[in-house]
Structure 1
Amino acid sequence: MVMAAPTGIEHQLDRLYPPAPGGLATWLPGGHGDGLSAGTAQALDRRLHHALAEPVRHMVDAGGKRWRPRLLTQIVELLGGDAEQFGVLAAALELAHTGSLVVDDVQDGSPMRRARPAAHEVYGLPVALTAGTCAYFAFDRAIDLCAPDDPALRGRMREALLAALRAAHAGQALDIQGHRREMDHALATGDNGPLLELVLATHRLKSGALVGACCQIAALAAGASPALCRALLDWGTAIGTAYQISDDVADLRGVTDEDGTLTKHPAEDLRNGKVTLPLAHAVTLLPGPTAQALWTTVRDGDATDAAIHTARRTLLTCGATTAAEDDADHLCTTAWQSLEPLLPSTPATTRLRATGHHAAGAGRGA
């Protein structure tokens, strides 16, 4: 199932990140372009578009599931807000997510994303890092466009996004460090509880926080109560965390698009010696010596293709992926049980839950 993008999302993406140079106001806040001659302003616009827009549009134009914008617009509409007015926020959050993928691919050394070369493979590492981080700030311009006469609302939205970005960077820092020592300890003691908690916390920070902010900002845009804003933040965080768990599973199963084209190399996490939720579950699902041998094989990121294939099959057949999926489902179900009583009993609420349910499992692959 592929969810349609919200009406007008392509227009809003073009509004924030035009496919061709569209003026310095896209990149520079007020005053920073003042005093430049027309020729210099045009030259700077071309250069900044090439350095900041093209690497991100390289990924945006490749497609993607676009379920984050769908969540935002559905929540705004469900709560009686103006989805058209705030549609630019949906585009900004999609750009922020895409920017995080550009940076993540650099840090993970991933050569492919969405069935095309990753941005750093095309534009180089320095350009990709700068463009990826710049995409986080499209939101700043978006809130000025959608709420020019409401400084209090703009402030609350900025607070929500900045909190999510702080959390996401903490999660990315933990992800880069990895959890090898904790995996060693779990195997030595047979207790994987602390390891599972750490992996889930990393997923919640890295991936859950931005989705939570997406839902919270939608609630703020619609004028929701503090209790409802909080419940939507928690539910969105659960959806984003579950999506990252599903991505762990998809990495093992292989990620393809609808026509079967490979969109990411399978078992990248195993090849990099990365501790994912299925690997953490395998500590107690496999016999101790088997689990230790699997980890020893992949720990240092230098395993052969044959060894990776064997490790991958072991994780797929021992129940580790099922256990991870159960964790994802539990997170989403628990958060929805707290949110549902605060929402109107309408078909729109049913559709919102379906969108979140699908998004949470969208990364599981075939």
Structure 2
Amino acid sequence: MQALQRNLNHRKSLPCLSSMATSVHCSNLQGLHSDEWDKGHMTGDISSSETLAKPHTLFRTLERCSPYDIDFAIHNQWNAEKESAVREPFDYSSSHPGKNIRATFINTFGTWLGVPSKSIEIIACAVSLLHESSLMIDDIQDHSELRRGFPAAHCVFGTPQTINSANYIYFVALQEITKLQNPVAISIFVEELLALHRGQGMDLHWRDSLICPTEIDYLNMVGNKTGGLFRLIVKLLQAESNNCKVDCTPLASLIGMFMET
């Protein structure tokens, strides 16, 4: 309590504590004198910003509470049901599979580079997550109503939930990459995700601004937008390979550009 008092005396105001106030449940707060509160009669919750602005008042309040009545911890109550709700748009979209070209690409280059099967499996999973979730965002940005012959995810679940689900899966993919336990892989992931968004951003900018890019600018955009995922694959595989004698990144970029054009 002495440490808390020193910390409170350091501050002129405590606006951040308003969000913590709902966690304070003290049965003996009802007996507080009216001069300790600027407004009304409190019944167990600290909710007055004016009161919170007075450290000495808050300190007296906390002093009267049993330590067992105060819980500032944020408990992790995440469960499978909530996970399913957040992932539902993604799960719906991925239930209509495409040609799975990227999986073939991964297995082929993984074999050539002598990458361990476990690493190939992790990379394939992460890339699949990224590809499917990026298509959900593409459909929103392109105002597409169909994806692979089925209603697009945002037409079924709404735009806000679909965006959140797709963005969530980006980080699920990153979490998958951490299983490689290779710091270089994390850097590669971030670098190519930035490139993907740069390419997509320029494509949208030109479209919405009615700008016709130069041939060089267009090829650079495609190299980032579509080639980025293929580069990501090859760079990750090379980072996991002990037999990488040739940099296959330029080839991956060309394949990506071919896919787009």
- Residues 1:169 and 1:136: Cα distance change in structure 2 (over 3 Å): same
Q: CA RMSD in A?
A: 2.2
Provide the rounded CA distance (Å) in 2 between the counterparts of 1:125 and 1:97: 18
Cα distance between partner residues in 2 of 1:136 and 1:79: 26
> Shift in Å at residue 85 of structure 1?
4.2
Shift of 1:79: 2.1
In 2, are the aligned partners of 1:73 and 1:83 still within 8 Å (CA)? no
1:97 correspondence with 2:113? no
Amino acid at match of 1:156: V
In the TM superposition, what is the alpha-carbon distance from 1:69 to its structure 2 partner? 2.0
Is residue 2:230 matched to residue 1:211?
Answer: yes
Q: How does 1:226-237 map to 2 (within 5 A)?
A: 228=246, 231-237=247-253
CA contact (8 A) 1:103 1:129 kept: yes
Tell me if 1:136 matches 2:170.
yes
Name the TM-score, length of structure 1 as normaliser.
0.48
Letter in 2 for 1:97: H
Give 1:182 shift. Answer: 4.2
* 1:221-260 → structure 2 map (5 Å cutoff): 221-225=240-244, 228=246, 231-245=247-261
Please give the alpha-carbon distance, in whole angstroms, between the structure 2 residues aligned to 1:181 and 1:108: 15
Distance 1:182 1:120 in 2: 28
Residue 155 of structure 1 and its aligned partner are, at CA, apart by 1.0
What's the offset of the Cα at 1:34? 8.1
Residues in 2 aligned to 1:212 and 1:84: alpha-carbon distance in whole angstroms: 20
Match of 2:203 among 154, 168, 175: 175
> Map of 1:82-121 to 2, 5 A cutoff?
82-121=116-155
Please tell me whether the aligned partners of residues 71 and 215 of structure 1 are also in contact (alpha carbons under 8 angstroms).
no
* Whole-angstrom CA distance in 1 between matches of 2:238 and 2:108: 10
CA distance in 2, matches of 1:48, 1:81: 32
**In structure 2, how many angstroms separate the alpha carbons of the residues matched to 1:127 and 1:215?**
32
Deviation at 1:72, TM superposition (A): 1.6
**1:242 positional shift:** 1.2
Q: Is the 8 A contact 2:119 2:240 kept in 1?
A: no
Secondary structure of 1:178's aligned partner: helix
Name 1:47's counterpart in structure 2: 82
- The structure with the largest alpha-carbon Rg is 2
CA distance in 2, matches of 1:113, 1:129: 16
* CA deviation after TM superposition for structure 1 residue 35, in Å: 4.2
Gaps of 5+ in 2: 1-72
Report the count of equivalent residues: 188
Which residue of the other structure, out of 186, 190, 202, is the alignment partner of 2:221? 202
Q: Distance in 1 between matches of 2:191 and 2:127?
A: 14
CA deviation after TM superposition for structure 1 residue 83, in Å: 2.0
* CA distance in 2 between partners of 1:57 and 1:48 (Å): 11
